[in-house]
Amino acid sequence: MIIKKASGGVGLSASGAILLRASLVMNFGVGLFAPIYALYVEKIGGSILDVGIAYAIFSIVTGTFIILFGTSAFFDRNVRKFVVAGYFLMGLTYLGYLLIESPLHLFIVQIFLGLTNGILEPAWDAVFSAGSNEAQEAKNWSLWSGGVSLIVGFSALLGSYIAHYSFSAIFIIMSACAFISSAISAKILKGRS
């Protein structure tokens, strides 16, 4: 309800409002895990170096695939489908965390996470910004950025509590959030190819 009221008053397109909802759900899941990531790496036998390597792998793969996907003609013709697919693949990838037993396994999951993020990010950004003028775009991105910060703040507190009992529960919730975001974002496909 809050998202509908806020997004309706700032010139957010119908697709933009849908993507805002999907992103907030997804970022709730991410926020559960992000602040305690290093503790998780330590729990699987990793070191602070492994935390850095894992993040580097994720960032390098994400950047590579953002450039590859975001500049391809195939991507241009299917940008909305890539939003839905990106969230769905993210959900599958988060389930991969349930199988991790060592830093090497983590590195493999980070490769897939970077790939899915590299698919999702340019597609999401393109659809979210489509058709906005500068003033609208500033408001839209402010709504998204502020909303994400609030959601991640609340979910970080919750994630710390849940992790005290089970990292597996966090991964299942993260995956569920990604699948829900995929379902929410599928609404942008109606009437589009």
Query: How far is residue 35 CA from its own chain's centroid?
Result: 15
Q: Among 38, 14, 15, 16, which residue's Cα sits nearest to residue 147?
A: 16
CATH of 15-185, one of 3.40.50.10420, 1.20.1250.20, 1.20.120.350, 3.40.1740.10: 1.20.1250.20
CB 109 within 8 A of CB 93: yes
The domain limits of the chain are: 15-185
pLDDT tens, residue by residue, 71-106: 888 877 889 999 999 999 999 999 999 999 999 999
pTM for this predicted structure: 0.89
Give CA–CA dist 39/28, Å, rounded: 19
pLDDT tens, residue by residue, 33-79: 999 999 999 999 999 999 999 999 999 999 999 999 888 888 778 89
Maximum CA pair distance of the chain? Answer: 49
The pLDDT value recorded for residue 3 is 52
Write out the H or E segment, with its range, that includes residue 27.
helix 14-33
- Indicate if the pLDDT at residue 2 is higher than 70: no
pLDDT tens, residue by residue, 154-169: 999 999 999 999 999 9
